[in-house]
Amino acid sequence: GDHVAVYPTNNLELVDKLASLMDINMEQVFTMTNVDEDSSKKHPFPCPTTYRTALSHYVEITALPRTHILKELSNYTSDPVEKAKLEEMSSTTPEGKALYQTWVVDDVRHITHILEDLPSCKPPIDHVLELLPRLQPRFYSIASSAKVHPTSVHICGVVVEYQTPTGRVNKGVATTWLQEKIPTGEGEEMVCPKVPVYVRRSQFRLPNRPQTPVIMIGPGTGLAPFRGFIQERAWQKSQGKPVGPTVLYFGCRNKSQDFIYQDELEEWEKDGLLTLHTAFSRDQEEKRYVTHCLRETGAAVWDLLDQGAHLYVCGDAKMMAKDVRNIIGEICREFGKMSETEAETFVKKLESQKRYSADVWS
């Protein structure tokens, strides 16, 4: 249930494009010092360094610039029309906000795109480095058990790549970078690429007693921590420990394309360790999601909750996690014979007892 933080490197083609737009010598060494006397850090990132290193490792060049950055950029724009556009987007007028929404947010324009589309905007690199946010680590749920894989950490992610309304292709910083980190050679000759990471502990963990039932709801890459959970329970079973019911609700678009870890899950199901409920939303006329499976198996879910089961939700916070919580409330009302107030109190009690845990992102 822990997370691994990955420190990625920005796309080097994008770094070079940004450098050429600003006409800078990438090997130039510089030091940036905080002028704020009260600042806890003397430098915003490790210094001295080169412009290449700073743009590759220390600043977020694909983040959408906030309005205050556009205001600063307008000071370095010579064309009156382009300057006015940046000033309007950084204003608080309804027109300015609407233009920012369409031109920056909807069109997904980051700093490089803005400099490409407003050729008279020529900010100095030092000010750009000061304005851009620091490049943050990306967190992934660990998709393996330390009992089974003591010397490695598995992660499960979708490589982000999409076309924007302006016809450009945007790529996810970390997933695109990780995609190419493939070991070469075999056995003792194997050379593994190095990736800077650290592990962040999480409260999202299996119950202490292996016989406690667990219900896991993880569509898409929300499956990641549950693969680790099931590996752990398979290991506990192999050690002769009594392992309680282990139930997984997994969903994706198409069984033939997106059913990640299918072989492993079906093997655990065949071994009697796992009860697997799947929903493939696009494989039939009517869309079908994990929430449908959950409703259909309401009686079994209630029986497990009544036996002290722990329930886990992982994945998209926008809709799925909220829907699941509502359905658990419905199940408590229908099969636990509770009123609406009692059901809500029951779910809140599960949460406070750490029997209902969510690891969600939006």
List of E strands, the chain: 3-6, 29-30, 49-50, 138-141, 161-163, 169-171, 197-200, 214-217, 246-252, 275-280, 310-316, 356-361
Least confident of 17-26, 110-119, 229-238, 290-299: 290-299
**359: annotated active-site residue:** yes
Selected catalytic residue, list 141, 144, 145, 357: 141
CA dihedral 170, 62, 55, 4 (to 10 degrees): -90
Phi, psi of 21 (to 5 degrees): -65, -35
**141: annotated active-site residue:** yes
With 0-12 CB in 10 A as exposed, 13-18 as middle and 19+ as buried, what is 167? exposed
In 3D, which of 169, 149, 147 has the Cα closest to residue 159? 169
pLDDT of residue 289: 78
In 3D, which of 32, 21, 212 has the Cα closest to residue 119? 21
Contacts of 176 (CB under 8 A, 6+ apart): 11, 159, 160, 161
pLDDT of residue 203: 86
Residue 173's identity, in one-letter code, is: V
Look at the chain and count its residues.
Answer: 362
Q: How far lies 97's CA from each of 86, 87, 115, 121, in Å?
A: 11, 11, 20, 21
Confidence check: pLDDT of 362 > 70 = no
What confidence tens digit (pLDDT) does each residue in 290-322 have?
888 899 999 999 999 999 999 999 987 678 888
What confidence tens digit (pLDDT) does each residue in 67-80 have?
999 999 999 999 99
Rounded distance between C-alpha atoms, residue 276 and residue 297, angstroms = 12
Confidence check: pLDDT of 275 > 70 = yes
Full-model pTM: 0.88
Selected catalytic residue, list 121, 156, 252, 314: 314
Residue 290's identity, in one-letter code, is: V
Unique residue bearing structure tokens 């420190």: 7
